[in-house]
Structures are given as structure tokens and as C-alpha cells.
Amino acid sequence: MARRFALTFPGEPGGHAKQDVVVVEPTGATGPGGHPVYADASGIVRAEISDRGEVRMLATGGHQTPRTPMHAEPLPPSGD
């Protein structure tokens, strides 16, 4: 399992906005599906990622509706 992932999100619907890429690292927690939970440096973007690269976004606050990334790219550990 990768130690970090780059999650690629689509741009805003109805426009030609560029895609957003967020790097997430393991938190040590396990999500509702039993897979590791990853988060960005701010802790706002949280995702459960399976060993097959399936992503389940996890809300971090009330009334949040997280978008699902189009792609999850495994990255080498930071510092490599």
C-alpha cells in the first residue's frame, strides 16, 4: 500500500476550471470499510482508500458534501 496518494478532483461543473490535486497521507485511523484513512495537511480532505485504490471520501464537518476524486495516484513516501 502506498504511503501517500495524489487525489485528482474535477474542476467546477459547467466551466473549464482546471482540476484540483490534493496529496493525502495516512492518519493511522481505519474508515468504515476497514481500510486506512488518509488526510491532507489541513485535515479537511479525508479519504478511505482500499488496497485496490478505491476511494471513499469522508466528511470532516457538518453540512459537508465531499466530491469524489476522478483518480487516486499512489506516490512514494515523502522525502524520497
Express each pLDDT in 65-80 by its tens digit: 777 788 889 898 776 5
Residues 23/75, Cβ–Cβ less than 8 Å: yes
Cross-strand partners of 21: 8
Q: What are phi and psi of 51, to 5 degrees?
A: -70, -10
* Number of residues that make up the chain: 80
- State the average pLDDT over residues 50-55: 90
* Cα–Cα dist 55/21, whole Å: 14
**Residue range 8-48, pLDDT digits in tens:** 988 776 667 778 899 999 999 999 999 999 999 999 999 99
